[in-house]
Amino acid sequence: MIICAGESLIDMVSFKGEPEYTPHVGGSNFNSSIALGRLGADSYYFGAVSNDSYGELIENTLRHSKVKEDFIIKTNRPTTLAYADVVNGIAEYTFVDEHSAGRLLDQKSLNPFINRVKKAKALLVGGISLQAEPCGSSWQLFIEQVSGYLPIYFDANVRPDFIENKQNYIARFIELTYKVDIIKISDEDYRYLYGAEDFNEVSKNWLDNGVKLVILTLGSEGSKVIYGNDSEVFAESQKVDVVDTIAAGDTFNAGFLLSLDQQGLLNRGSLNAIKNNQLIKALNFANKVASITVTRKGANPPWHEELS
């Protein structure tokens, strides 16, 4: 059971030259759950879903992609909308999120799931659910309560529009480095948070805090993992014709977690003793599934049978 916890929303996508926006289900953590389900993993989505028509579309997509709904919290609050204008494959976002299902998620709603989550194989967190308030504080406390019981994978996936106080978010980010086992961050997200600070020095601090793997994604160049005592591995991205990059990182997360699981490494003990070749295998698989996603419009991760 791999649980992806956080936001779900609707991406209203417009490509250059198109006069209208087309709705696509989305949300960082939601997209990862969809990718895991399509790849054959035991995938669960954990988050608030509205009773509105967009919420129905979100639930139908979960079922179609074989994602289990045991951790869904239903609410009458509206679904978050993200208007994505795609130019040259890159999406620029504008969010409509006031009083939404995800944003107003409180600790009382999360508490009943603590013990069940502790028994899962892994937990994926991050994205705007840890950047907006009041949900960010609720999710942070939840993570602290389950930390140490299972591997926790934290994808920064920064959306500056949701960060009202940058210093407060950086403080939260640092606190989470004491609670999670894997951090994944893009080069762009890193620059937003740390500017010109040396990545190797900063990642060493995270490892000293208890993080086992630090993943840095470098867009079309590839990705690398820093771990252990200054050990590092790198894998190139597959070269494809990019339509848009929506959900590329989310699909990468799913591929990386699934590869660890298939290698028998998705537990905290194994992550402490992970080997170079095992990480390269996980990176290559994550890059492969992400490379398929970017050839399509919107968040549309591949199915297992498409990988052959």
**Domain harbouring 289, CATH code:** 3.40.1190.20
Pairing relation of β-strands 22-26 and 68-75?
Answer: unpaired
Confidence of residue 88 (pLDDT cuts 50, 70, 90): low
What's the predicted TM-score (pTM) here? 0.93
At 114-155, the pLDDT tens digits run 999 999 999 999 999 999 999 999 999 999 999 999 999 999
Q: For 6-100, where are the E strands, in sequence order? A: 9-15, 22-26, 43-50, 68-75, 80-87, 90-96
Q: Which domain holds residue 136?
A: 2-306
- Mean pLDDT, residues 230-257: 86
At 147-170, the pLDDT tens digits run 999 999 999 999 888 888 999 999
Query: Which residues are bridge partners to 71 per DSSP?
Result: 46
- Answer whether 307's CB lies under 8 Å from 289's CB: yes
Q: What angle do CA 113, 260, 224 make, to 5 degrees?
A: 110
Stated as kind and residue range, the H or E segment containing 63 is helix 53-64
Sheet containing strand 231-236, edge to edge, reads 68-75, 43-50, 2-5, 122-126, 152-155, 182-186, 213-217, 222-227, 231-236
- Answer whether 235's CB lies under 8 Å from 224's CB: yes
- Answer whether 267's CB lies under 8 Å from 207's CB: no
Pairing relation of β-strands 213-217 and 182-186?
Answer: parallel
Total number of domains constituting the chain: 1
